[in-house]
Amino acid sequence: MGTYNIPRNLRGESRILYIFSVKSLITTAIGAAVGLIFYAIFSLIGIGVVGIVITAIFALLGFAIGTFKIPTINGLLFTKRVGGESIDQILLRYIKFKKNRKIYVYTKEEK
């Protein structure tokens, strides 16, 4: 008998530095860039250590957004709806919803 390779979805599985996928590396860099803005502000004031801590927190938050998925918990209605989806996909959907939300008003015209 011969061996056969079973095709599988490899999207998002490439790892950089063992813990970073491409998506998590990008979101970590974005979080660190936002944190570096705070670092620049705090270093001008003279408390650069606080800026470094804030930069690390933003980078960790960016890593979490790019890496983790929402678990499915049957007791919570929110997690039933979005369980198993990436946090960044949920945030993008929320931003698109808020951006394109329109209110339609139907009035009845009387003569």
Is residue 20 included in any domain, yes or no? yes
Q: For 31-55, what is each residue's pLDDT tens digit? A: 999 999 999 998 898 888 888 999 9
**Together in a domain, 75 and 34:** no
Is residue 2 included in any domain, yes or no? no
Is residue 1 included in any domain, yes or no? no
**Structure confidence at residue 16 (pLDDT):** 65
Is residue 6 included in any domain, yes or no? no
- Domain extent, residue 110, equals 70-111
Is residue 4 included in any domain, yes or no? no
**Together in a domain, 90 and 108:** yes
46: left (phi over 0), alpha (psi -120 to 50) or beta: left
Q: Assess whether pLDDT exceeds 80 at residue 1.
A: no
55 burial level (CB within 10 Å; 0-12, 13-18, 19+): buried
Measured distance CA(66)–CA(88) in Å, rounded: 6
**Together in a domain, 34 and 59:** yes
Question: Which residues of the chain form beta strands (DSSP E)?
Answer: 15-16, 20-21
Q: How many structural domains comprise the chain?
A: 2
Q: For 64-90, what is each residue's pLDDT tens digit? A: 888 888 777 777 777 777 777 888 888
